A = this chain, B = another copy of it.
Amino acid sequence: MSDIYRASTTAPVNIAVIKYWGKRDPKLNLPTNSSLSVTLSQDDLRTHTTASCSPSYPQEDTLLLNGSSQDVSGARTQACFRELRALRKQLEDSDSSLPKLSSFPLKIVSENNFPTAAGLASSAAGFAALVRAIANLYELPASPTDLSRIARQGSGSACRSLFGGYVGWEQGSAADGSDSVAFQVAPASHWPNMRAVILVVSAAKKGVSSTTGMQTTVATSSLFASRAAETVPRRMQEMQKAVQEKDFEAFGKVTMMDSNSFHATCLDTYPPIFYLNDVSRAAIKVVEAINTKAGKIVAAYTFDAGPNAVVYYLEENEKEVAGLFKAVLGEKDGWQGERGSKVEAGDAAGVQEEAGVAIDLLKDGVSRVILTSVGEGPVKTEKSLVNEKGEAMA
């Protein structure tokens, strides 16, 4: 059928090293502080999304993720659809030869290449891919910065997944959010040897959603204001400098301190919010032991709103960092792939003595590892998840 329009993209996950926590405007997802993240390689973690529209589709917009139908009636998804349609409408209004895609129902089909059960922040990749795919479908001239403004309304941290490499999100000050956009601090090629090992912690379901949690923090934590007003602005400067200078010790120290600061404000929330558990704390102990053994910071932990540890390190320290985890967690899922099989197991002596109890806790509590690296932003693909007849192929 010739009236089926389709465009596809992939988009990456990003893991913040300066954390986003707290909205000054919950409707527009405007944050109380700037943040900074590393975009992770789509070889390992990505959302693949096809946006499709047609006058022949049933009237309702739909979204299929990993084969299950998702609710698109929420304000966040609706905001993205509305903004993108408005931009398309402008094009159509200025050029009457263009097909009226903005008036057609949307059919979105998405797939993640990583287990949803892993509890990784998939909404960032998801909304980035959704916005990028629809922008491609509508042939919008919008830049990644423009799209970051839209994706932010879907999920705050999604705005950072519009860029590859090292990415900031400027909190901005405008009431309409027009200046609250993502920007690239440096491309992946600037500091390409950044690696990450993710320790996926087998956990019960997440207790508190991050949207609810962060607003309770803003309302009740007495320490939060100083984090937002003083700590984060200082660290944003330190972190950008560390990235520019490829200074891993500074990058690592600020990463760890900011993760701790974020979880401290969660604990200072009333009632308190706990994302770290005993296994998370064991990962911190093991990272500390790795750094003690190395005599410098070669590994840096960070935790999002959940118990999984993301440990950043440089390729040249792979044996000391990922290799140490392979030595003690070698039987877990995740070492079989191309990246994992290349990792040379490190020497657990020293670390074992320093953090023996912690290593035992990791062995019990980590369900799988994921190895990845810094990577690129969204990539257009010809591989469509909707066939020529307009049917989902997932």
- Name A residues whose Cβ lies closer than 8 Å to a Cβ of B: 204, 220-223, 225-227, 230-231, 234, 253, 256-257, 260-261, 263-265, 267-272, 274, 277-278, 281, 284, 288, 357
Contact = CB atoms under 8 A, between A and B. Distances in A.
Contacts of A226: 222-223, 225-226
A116 to B, nearest CB: 22
A262 to B, nearest CB: 9
B230 A256 contact: no
Given A222-B226, A223-B223, A253-B270, 14 more contacts: A220-B257, A222-B230, A222-B231, A222-B261, A226-B226, A257-B270, A260-B267, A260-B269, A260-B272, A261-B268, A264-B264, A264-B268, A272-B284, A277-B278
A267 B278 CA distance: 13
A222 B269 CA distance: 17
A267 B276 CA distance: 11
Given A223-B226, A230-B222, A288 B271 contact: yes
Nearest to A268: B264
B281 A274 contact: yes
Contacts of A231: 222-223
A231 B220 CA distance: 12
A260 B270 contact: yes
A281 to B, nearest CB: 5
Contacts of A357: 204
Nearest to A288: B271
Greatest chain B CB density within 10 A among A225, A264, A281 is at A264
A290 to B, nearest CB: 12
Contact of A222 (B221, B227, B253, B270): B227
13 contacts: A222-B227, A222-B230, A223-B226, A223-B265, A223-B268, A226-B226, A253-B270, A256-B271, A257-B270, A260-B269, A260-B272, A264-B265, A271-B288
Contacts of A220: 257
A393 B226 CA distance: 55
Contact of A264 (B223, B278, B284): B223
A209 to B, nearest CB: 17
A225 B223 CA distance: 9
A253 B284 CA distance: 31
Most buried by B among A220, A223, A230, A357: A223
Contact of A267 (B221, B264, B288): B264
Nearest to A260: B272
Nearest to A271: B288
A5 to B, nearest CB: 49
B277 A256 contact: no
A230 B277 CA distance: 29
A376 B10 CA distance: 69
A261 B204 contact: no
Contacts of A272: 260, 284
A263 B256 CA distance: 17
Contacts of A230: 222
A204 to B, nearest CB: 7
Nearest to A270: B257
Nearest to A229: B226
Nearest to A284: B272
